[in-house]
Amino acid sequence: QRVLRLAEMCRRLETEEEKVLPFYPSSLAEGEQQDVQRVLEEMPVEPLAQAMRDYVGLEQFWQRFNKAKLEEQALERERVALSRKNGRLRELLRQYLAGISVSQEVLGQPNPL
């Protein structure tokens, strides 16, 4: 009961696009989809299968949650890569500025000029 209420609450928070469009296109053939639907409609006999049936309503929530986590990881990797690139660019800029300026510190170090 609580799971169904939670699934309904999540459904109300979905955008119109999320409600209309399927989350993932199915890679199953038409016959396979019919087999899956038939199996889902059968009442399970094992206790674990019966318990899992109660949580079917949250499947879309977990798909979206996992997609968001994957996007978060991808963005973190991109942030790290951009941070490294930023460090390299800063170092090149520092070297360039040191090369075009004249000071005692610069004259004491190897210089591209």
What does the radius of gyration of the chain's CA atoms come to, in whole angstroms?
A: 28
Q: Does the model's pTM come out above 0.85? A: no
Q: Which pLDDT belongs to residue 84? A: 97
Position 75 confidence tier, pLDDT thresholds 50, 70, 90: very high
Question: Residue 91: in which H helix or E strand, if any?
Answer: helix 59-100
* Amino acid identity at 106: V
Say which residues have a Cβ less than 8 Å from residue 28's Cβ, sequence separation at least 6. 36
CA distances to 15, 39, 62, 72 from 65, rounded to whole Å, are 15, 26, 5, 10
Give the up-direction half-sphere exposure of residue 109: CA atoms within 13 A in the CB hemisphere: 11
- Does 64 have pLDDT greater than 90? no
Whether the per-residue pLDDT at 1 is higher than 70: the answer is no
